[in-house]
Amino acid sequence: MSAGLGSAIAVEARKAAASRVMASVTALLVLGVGALSLGMLLAAASGDEQVLAKLGPLADDGGWGGLIGVVLQITAAGGLLAFGVALSWLFGREFADGTVAALFALPVSRPAIAMAKLVVYLAWAIGVALVLTGVVAVLGYAMGYGVTDAAGVVGLLRIPVLVVLTALIAVPAAWASTLGRGLLPGIAATVGIIVVAQVFAIADAGAWIPIVAPALWAIAPQSVPAAALLTVPSVPIVFGGLCALAWARLQLDR
Amino acid sequence: MTEPAGAPRLEARGLVREFRGGAGVHGIDLDVLPGEVHALVGLNGAGKTTLLRLLLGMLRADHGEVRIDGVDVRSAGPGTWRRVGHVVEHPLAYAELTGRGNLAIAARLHGERRDDLDAAVDRVIDEFDLARYANVRASRLSLGNRQRLGLAAALLHEPSFVVLDEPTNALDPAGVILLRESLVRRAAAGAGILVSSHHLDEVARIAHRITVINDGRVIGGLDPAGVDLERAFFAQVHADAAGRVA
């Protein structure tokens, strides 16, 4: 394995923990998804036709199924953007701030630093998944679903699965930020993934395309076999490898 | 001052890296000996930073080779890089971390053992008079104090080969004196130190050897003990420019 991975993980974890960007993205994602979901459900309950049209069959579900369905749909698009921004910052900031020069000529190799960024990102995404699930659970119990739809609570388990799958398909943003030497290429790559995933998902197609499967599973879980979800880790494996290669071959020639 | 001697800390031979438009480094040989402060002096755009990047593997050479303590940088491993400290252009100073936090991650990245980390950080905070800024985020530091922090981060693991690109930029006079004393002490302990500057600043004046670079080539040297170094420097640069025009 790359030299100094343990040290690199400790360093990247310390940087991420102190970062206001990561704290802001976490708050926006968790509170934003929670508030949007609550708002849409309240608007649907009041009979707002536009919101009812957007929710489609979810509006009729009610209970945990309705709440979780709305959360999943918002997370599949909004969460992907948040994860892409986080990755773009983790990688692109080294170029934007000029600190990348200090990451050369060290006993800790640059591929180890790139891998450490991805490890810290994944750990953070798992934390976000757990916190968001907790927030939605609190929301659901506050709305009385614990009494009216006690059996539906198991649907909460879909939330951490979707959040982590969504985080995995954002990894190409890290590669784009490295190749483009900044934050914007990563964010542009994220927007591209969102567009492809949402267009396919709305068309109810692309279950076996790894970057589409999570969004499709959020909208129409019956369209996506479990085996198709297992292809999703191929995205971080391929693009994580490309990141490590790009960091190994990096030159300050621009 | 102890005279530099022994196998070179750095050997560069026939280094070439050319960019579109003709800029770059066009065949440079360079040595830095143990115990030596070697200053590179040249005008802006002379090729100093490109040369330093080539020495540290930040750029790959079109031709030529670089050895640090006898090891080719293309195949150098952690054992070699652990002995190197550098600041080239931007210091290692992350805005979100405090002064101490930045020094702690620098120690980890330079291979300091976890047991020795706090002692190394305390030592360099003391050496560079950074106690006031130890618990202040780097984003709130002045440019000069961020540079001082970056220099401390590059030197806290007591490297035996040091590369500093225009290290006195933004430093106040007190910072320049601290840096000068730090480099003199490290050279006396056997480190080889390469410092670039676009003018004959305080650090260039403590050098054992001054090499003049112009248009990506070594065009001569200056005697650090000589008088009126500026006049001698500009005479060399102008003669080189005139020679190429002719």
CB contact under 8 A, B58 and A106: no
Per-residue model confidence (pLDDT) at position B190: 96
Q: Which residue of B has its CA nearest to A94?
A: B94
Q: Across the interface, which of A15, A104, A109 has its CB nearest the CB of B97? A: A15
Tens digit of each residue's pLDDT (9 = 90 or more) over B142-184: 999 999 999 999 999 999 999 999 999 889 999 999 999 999 9
CB contact under 8 A, A107 and B95: no
Interface of chain B toward chain A, CB-CB under 8 angstroms: 19, 53, 56-60, 77-79, 81-82, 84, 86-97, 101, 104-105, 108-111, 150, 153-154, 163
Cα A8 to Cα B201: distance, rounded to the nearest angstrom: 36
Run of H or E including B15: strand B10-18
Band (pLDDT 50/70/90 cuts) for residue B198 is confident
Tens digit of each residue's pLDDT (9 = 90 or more) over B105-124: 999 999 998 888 999 999 99
Tens digit of each residue's pLDDT (9 = 90 or more) over B45-76: 899 999 999 999 999 999 999 999 999 999 99
CB contact under 8 A, A108 and B109: yes
Q: Across the interface, which of A97, A105, A109 has its CB nearest the CB of B56? A: A105
Cα A172 to Cα A175: distance, rounded to the nearest angstrom: 5
Per-residue model confidence (pLDDT) at position A2: 64
**Residue entry with tokens 């400790």:** A10
Cα A86 to Cα A104: distance, rounded to the nearest angstrom: 23
- Intervals of chain A under pLDDT 70: 1-3, 55, 57-61
Q: Is the dihedral of CA A108, A249, B90, B13 positive or negative?
A: positive
Residue B1 has pLDDT above 70, yes or no: no
Q: Look at A69 and B244; give whichever has higher pLDDT.
A: A69
**Residue entry with tokens 């790009």:** A246
Residue B81 has pLDDT above 80, yes or no: yes
Per-residue model confidence (pLDDT) at position B2: 59
Residues 6+ apart with CB under 8 A from A123: A13
CB contact under 8 A, A102 and B59: no
Please report residues of B whose CB lies closer than 8 A to that of A86. Answer: none
Q: What share of chain B is helix, strand, coil (3-state, %, to 5)?
A: 40, 25, 35
CB contact under 8 A, B111 and A107: yes
Per-residue model confidence (pLDDT) at position B201: 67
Per-residue model confidence (pLDDT) at position A58: 67
CB contact under 8 A, B150 and A10: no
Q: Residue B170 has what DSSP assignment?
A: T
CB contact under 8 A, A3 and B59: no
Please report residues of B whose CB lies closer than 8 A to that of A14. Answer: 97, 101, 104-105
CB contact under 8 A, B105 and A3: no
Please report residues of B whose CB lies closer than 8 A to that of A106. Answer: 81, 109-111
Q: Across the interface, which of A20, A102, A253 has its CB nearest the CB of B96? A: A20
Q: Across the interface, which of B53, B101, B150 has its CB nearest the CB of A18? A: B101
Enter the ipTM.
0.93
Strands B161-165 and B192-197: parallel
Selection from B2, B40, B1 nearest residue B197 by Cα: B40
Please report residues of A whose CB lies closer than 8 A to that of B150. Answer: 102
Per-residue model confidence (pLDDT) at position B33: 97
**Residue entry with tokens 């708050």:** A27
Per-residue model confidence (pLDDT) at position A219: 82
Put the strands of the sheet holding B209-214 in their side by side order: B84-87, B161-165, B192-197, B37-41, B209-214, B217-222
**Residues in chain B, overall count:** 246
Tens digit of each residue's pLDDT (9 = 90 or more) over A168-214: 999 999 999 999 999 999 999 999 999 998 888 888 888 899 999 99
Per-residue model confidence (pLDDT) at position A45: 75
Using an 8 Å Cβ cutoff, are B54 and B19 in contact? no
How many C-beta neighbours within 10 Å does residue A220 have? 14
